[in-house]
Structure 1
């Protein structure tokens, strides 16, 4: 079985994509279900990922017994291997007396111990999209075999406990192993030099096309929020990944008049603290920043502690809501964010920002944000032209 051969161009580099632990778990589950229900193990299993790219994964280390079967898929991180690259992701499928397909985690898959994550406390750290992918693969195998009973899928990663120590899982309250992740099913490689080149190229192309006012988002979340929630046009839009400072430098150098940054609070609160590269390997400080602004807004010690101890930024906002402090804390954060952006950009280019979360919507704006947003009106649709709908992943 050959490796996954899908490539993307990042800057001047041609980089090979890989596939996520979620895709591996889904492929292994589909293979194990077929082995259980037909007695045959295919050499490979095809998974149609949410990104629209099919993955043909090789099935390894099969085993079976009365009422159960198992096999594994090896994680392929492509040209951007993370700590799970090369790890074996196992799936065991067994018959049950309950209808439907249940999914759980076994050895090496972490358990959620704190609220605020993708899964509830006590659940295996297998995120929502991977769970959907696993069920889809197993249901497809059951349908093909004419099986109508219940099945339990248990995902395990023997190397998980060791690998988890190299991730943020212990800090997030995920204990005992790694998480099974992936919203697109595909790992897109990220070379820092190439990504920065790509950021600069996007901005220069916008300027060459005559744009004077630039809308910048770190990635897909900001782009979708800008278009679908804020109703902004994307004709003068560029992405910057984690490289906020590089984007500001390039836009100022190219002579843009204004730059509006739209991003998730989890990323932009780092910028408010002066971190212009927001990659988790370079900077975090989210809880420290939010706790500091809570104190500045007059928060009691108990509230500051609750914000500091929150697992996610949404959890911090929830703590602020309990104390009635969301508005002043977000205003304080927005002020600091605006100052940091303007300091980096210099006097020749006006900057502003809007930050949000999926749960709460818009959380804060710099004072000039609405005026800068008005410089990016949505493109007019001709009569009868269909709405383009959400962008692909």
Structure 2
């Protein structure tokens, strides 16, 4: 069997790691320094987890697991996840965030503001794993730590979601399925609930970090209202409807927005790429000479097309493309959202925008430096 035909290896979630480390910590306190434990997933599946280190501390124990994400390209693969458990005389289990585990600072997530960023599934797993080993009448304080967590969190959506100080302990099933496109798409959606929970009915969708930074830093759009869609603009529009958002401002580089203008809502270049053809078509429809159309079709990037558009005095096409992107986006969600569009260069200069974009941007208090 070729490697490409082999089934992808599953892994375990950070929640499973934390639960296993906590169980190993209790067993260490009881004098059992074991190399493997079993924990139960929220769906009742028994998971076997290797333990790399245990030790006894005053009043309890510590356990450590190395996260194994299987064949999933998870940022936490290979990191140490530690649980320290201290027994108490009060029969309850309290879970705290240690080093490298974030704290929730914005509403709209599965965990309340001020609480450790440990989701309900992992909380249930940790609580069950510890309760199985506690003496009758005893409780425990469980502190979960990820020593590298704060550094790694800067490369996740946590800062946008308002999770500060580290990573989240997540996992609804306890098992990591090798990353699918659907899983990544779904990981973007909580940004919408955070924006809504902060009181916004209007939301700004930026396909990437460059557009997000331009919207916030150059045009003064509130950071709390701006979310990244990656290539999944259609998916995020659909979820904006589900969350009851009223208006969406698409804000991005010509290379992404022009795809929306032609009805492409998954903008990865391997899915669809009609950027230059779309620009050429709209140039032709608005009176550009044949030479201009041919020159645009001969280049390889939208940035390279911009000087051609300038040279032929056809910059009005950008507003048309913005209007078209808004119309196609509203058609995509059957009119359940009002959409405006802003098209920018990589440097952040606005090329085109429609009237709805002006209205949404004005409502959000942007500092527009064009008339």
* Equivalence for 1:135: 127
Counterpart residue number, 2:20? 27
The match for 1:121 is 113
1:367 counterpart (334, 341, 345): 334
**110 and 14 in structure 1: CA distance in 2 versus 1, 3 angstrom threshold:** same
Work out which of the two has the higher radius of gyration on C-alpha atoms and give 1 or 2.
2
Please state whether the residue corresponding to 1:86 is helix, strand or coil. coil
Aligned position for 1:149: 138
Asked whether 1:100 is paired with 2:92, we answer yes
Q: In structure 1, the residue corresponding to 2:133 is in which secondary structure?
A: helix
Shift of 1:49: 2.2
Cα 1:341–1:155 shift into 2, 3 Å:
closer
CA–CA distance in structure 2, aligned partners of residues 306 and 115 of structure 1: 15
Contact 1:125 1:174 survives alignment (8 Å)? yes
Aligned-pair CA distance for 1:97: 3.6
CA distance in 2, matches of 1:10, 1:53: 28
Q: 1:274 to 1:151 in 2, by over 3 A?
A: closer
16 and 114 in structure 1: CA distance in 2 versus 1, 3 angstrom threshold: same
Corresponding residue of 2:171: 182
Task: Using the TM superposition, give the Cα deviation of residue 329 of structure 1 relative to its aligned residue in structure 2, in angstroms.
Answer: 5.5
User: In structure 2, what is the Cα distance between the partners aligned to 1:110 and 1:219?
Assistant: 25
1:281-305: CA deviation from partner (whole Å, max 9, x where unpaired) = xx579989x99xxxxxxxxx99x74
> Residues 124 and 10 of structure 1: is their aligned pair in 2 closer, same or farther, counting only changes over 3 Å?
farther
Indicate conservation of the 8 Å contact 1:338/1:366, yes or no: no
C-alpha distance in structure 2 between counterparts of 1:33 and 1:342, whole Å: 48
Paired residue secondary structure (1:183): coil
Partner of 1:384: none
Question: Cα deviations across residues 188-228 of structure 1 (Å, max 9, x unaligned)?
Answer: 113xxxx6xxxxxxxxxxxxxxxxxxxxxx758xxxxxxxx
SS of alignment partner, residue 85 of structure 1: coil
Distance 1:274 1:124 in 2: 28
- Is 1:111 equivalent to 2:99 in the alignment? no
**Maintained 8 Å contact 1:114/1:311:** no
RMSD: 4.6
- Corresponding residue for residue 225 of structure 2: 308
Q: Which runs of 5+ in 1 are unaligned?
A: 1-8, 196-217, 221-240, 244-262, 276-282, 292-300, 331-335, 347-363, 370-393
**Cα deviation code 1:283-333 (max 9, x no counterpart):** 579989x99xxxxxxxxx99x7486158998xx979x97xxxx45659xxx
8 Å CA contact 1:115, 1:311 repeated in 2: no
Do 2:15 and 2:171's aligned partners in 1 also have CA atoms closer than 8 Å?
yes
**CA offset at residue 51 of structure 1?**
5.5
- Contact kept? 2:67, 2:78, Cα under 8 Å: yes
Q: How many residues align?
A: 246
Q: Deviations over 1:49-76 (max 9, x none)?
A: 2356532112222221331211111100
Secondary structure of the structure 1 residue equivalent to 2:152 = helix
Change (3 A) 1:309 1:166: closer
User: TM-score by structure 2 length?
Assistant: 0.53
CA distance 1:317–1:44, shift in 2 (3 Å): same
Contact 1:112 1:174 in 2 (8 A): yes
Query: Which segment drifts farther, 130-139 or 166-175?
Result: 166-175
- Check the 8 A contact 1:91/1:156 in 2, yes or no: yes
Contact 1:287 1:307 in 2 (8 A): no
Cα deviation for residue 340 of structure 1 reads 3.9
* 1:60 match: 52
Q: What does 1:276-295 correspond to in 2, within 5 Å?
A: 283=208
Match of 1:83 in 2: 75
Equivalent position of 1:49 in the other structure: 41
Which residue number in structure 2 is paired with residue 235 of structure 1?
A: none
Q: Does 88-97 or 132-141 show the bigger shift? A: 88-97
Counterpart in the other structure of 1:160: 149
Write out per-residue CA displacement over residues 326-373 of structure 1, whole angstroms, 9 at most, x where no aligned residue. Answer: 45659xxxxx79944599799xxxxxxxxxxxxxxxxx973399xxxx
Q: Give the structure-1-normalised TM-score.
A: 0.50
Q: Deviations over 1:247-295 (max 9, x none)?
A: xxxxxxxxxxxxxxxx96979xxxx9796xxxxxxx579989x99xxxx
Cα drift, residue 151 of structure 1: 0.8
Q: Matched residue of 1:109: which SS?
A: coil
Contact 2:110–2:119 under 8 Å retained in 1: yes
Give the whole-Å Cα distance in 1 for the aligned partners of 2:76 and 2:91: 33
Shift of 1:179: 1.2
Q: How many angstroms apart in 2 are the aligned matches of 1:170 and 1:18?
A: 25
